[in-house]
Amino acid sequence: MDLELKDKVAVITGGSVGIGLAVAEGLAREGVHLVLCARNEERVKARAQEIADQYGVKAVGIHADVANGDDIDRLVAAIGAEFSDGVDILINNAGTGSEETIMDASDERWQYYWDLHVMAAVRLSRGLVPLMRKRGGGAIINNASICATQPLYYEPIYNVTKAALVMFSKCLANELVGDNIRVNTINPGLVLTPDWMKTATLLTENEPITPEQYLDKIAKGNAPIGRFASPEEVAHFFVFMCSPRASYCVGSSYYVDGGWLKVIT
Ligand code: NDP
C-alpha cells in the first residue's frame, strides 16, 4: 500500500527513544521529513542525524521541555523557521508514568503532569495548526495510554491526565475537521521501551528474578497476548493513522494493547 506520505513534514515530541523514535523511523522510511523534540539535546540531535543519514530525509533535532510553555514557543518558532512551507503531522508523544497516591501527591505534581500530558498538546496544536492550514490540512495524533480508560492503581495522576488528553483530542477533532485536519488518539498497552527496562532493573535489584522475568510476568498477568509490544509494532499503526489512507478516521481513540482492555468502548 502506498501510504502517500512522501515529502510530508512531521513533528514528533519525545522522538529520541522508545515509541516516538520508532514512529520517526517508520515515517522516515515513507519519505517523511522530521522534527524530533526532547529535553536531552545531544541525544535528540544524534537520533535526527542518524535518521537523515539512513533514510535521506531532512530530520532536525530540537531540544525542548514540552511541559514548559516558553520552550514550546521557542520550539514552534524554530519549526516555522526550518519548515516555512508548513507541517503536515503533529504527534504529541512525550510523556511518562507516575507513582503516587492521591492523598499524598502535591499540587505541584498534579500541575507538572497536566502540563506534560495535556497543556503540551494544547500549546503545540495552537502553535502548529496555522502551519498545517498552510498545507491544506494534516493529522494530529495524541499518544495517550490504555490507562486513560483502564487505570493502573499506582499512577492516578498518569491515568487522570491521559484521560484528559483523550477528551482534548475529541474536542480538537471537532474544531479542526473543517480545516481537513484529522485528530485522533492512540492508546498503547504494554510497549517494551527503555523506560520499562529501567523500571524492571530497579525493581528486581534485590529480588531473585531477572528484569526479563519480571517483565514477562507483567505481560502474562495483564495482556492476553502474553507479551509486550515492540515500539515498532505500535509505530506501524501510528504511521498508518498519519497517512491520507486513514482519511475517514476522525476524533477516535484506537487501542493497540494485545487485548488488555477488558471492556468494549
Ligand atoms: P520513553 O521514556 O521511552 O521516551 C520518552 C521520550 O519523551 C523521550 O524521547 C524523552 O526524551 C521525551 N520526553 C520525556 N519528557 C519530555 C519533556 N518534558 N519534554 C520533551 N520531551 C520529553 O517513553 P515511551 O516511548 O515508553 O512512551 C512514549 C509515550 O507513550 C508516553 O506518552 C507514554 O505515556 C505513552 N505510553 C507508553 C507505554 C509503554 O508501555 N511504553 C504504554 C502506553 C502509553 P528526553 O528524556 O530527552 O526528554
Summarize pLDDT for 173-222 with one digit per residue, the tens. Answer: 999 999 999 999 999 999 999 989 988 999 899 999 999 999 999 999 99
If one residue of 193, 199, 222 were mutated to test the ligand 1 pocket, choosing by the most ligand atoms within 8 A of its CB, it would be 193
Mean pLDDT of 23-28: 99
Q: Provide the β-strand partners of residue 92.
A: 142
pTM greater than 0.85:
yes
CATH class of 9-191+230-256: alpha beta
Give the pLDDT of residue 47. Answer: 98
Residue nearest to ligand 1 atom 19, measured at CA: 65
Hey, which residues are catalytic here?
A: 158
Give the pLDDT of residue 265. Answer: 86
Sheet of 89-92, strand order: 59-63, 33-38, 9-13, 89-92, 138-143, 181-188, 253-256
Give the pLDDT of residue 90. Answer: 99
- The b/e string for 225-237 (b: 16+ C-beta within 10 A; e otherwise) is eeebbebeebbeb
Mean pLDDT of 237-250: 98
Give the pLDDT of residue 180. Answer: 98
Question: What is the per-residue pLDDT across 27-78, written as a single tens digit (0 to 9) for each?
Answer: 999 999 999 999 999 999 999 999 999 999 999 999 999 999 999 999 999 9
Question: What is the per-residue pLDDT across 72-104, written as a single tens digit (0 to 9) for each?
Answer: 999 999 999 999 999 999 999 999 999 999 999
Q: How many CB atoms lie within 10 A of CB 31?
A: 15
Q: What is the C-alpha separation between 94 and 143, in angstroms, rounded? A: 8
- In what helix (H) or strand (E) does residue 12 lie, and over which residues does it extend? strand 9-13
Distance between Cα 134 and ligand 1 center (Å)? 29
| Atom number, ligand 1, closest to the C-alpha of residue 147 | 43
Closest residue by Cα to residue 99 from 109, 90, 107: 109
Per the CB < 8 A criterion, the answer to whether 72 and 49 are in contact is no
Average per-residue pLDDT for the chain: 97
Give the pLDDT of residue 144. Answer: 99
Question: What is the per-residue pLDDT across 113-158, written as a single tens digit (0 to 9) for each?
Answer: 999 999 999 999 999 999 999 999 999 999 999 999 999 999 999 9
Structural domain spans, the chain: 9-191+230-256, 192-228
Q: What is the dihedral of CA 171, 174, 175, 180, to 10 degrees?
A: 140
Give the pLDDT of residue 238. Answer: 99
Alpha helices in the chain (DSSP H): 18-29, 41-55, 69-82, 107-114, 120-133, 156-176, 194-203, 211-222, 231-242
| CB neighbour list of residue 90: distance below 8 Å, 6 or more residues apart | 10, 11, 124, 125, 128, 132, 138, 139, 140, 141
Q: What band does 15 get if pLDDT is binned at 50, 70 and 90?
A: very high
Q: What is the C-alpha separation between 14 and 8, in angstroms, rounded? A: 19
Our answer on whether the CB atom of 172 is closer than 6 Å to any ligand 1 atom is no
Residue with cell 477488558: 262
Output the CA–CA distances (angstroms, integers) from residue 32 to 58, 60, 87, 166, in the order listed. 8, 12, 11, 26
Give the burial class of 251: count Cβ atoms within 10 A of its Cβ; 0-12 exposed, 13-18 middle, 19 or more buried: middle
- Grid coordinates of 47: 537520533
Distance between Cα 224 and ligand 1 center (Å)? 24
Give the pLDDT of residue 195. Answer: 86
Q: What is the C-alpha separation between 12 and 10, in angstroms, rounded? A: 6
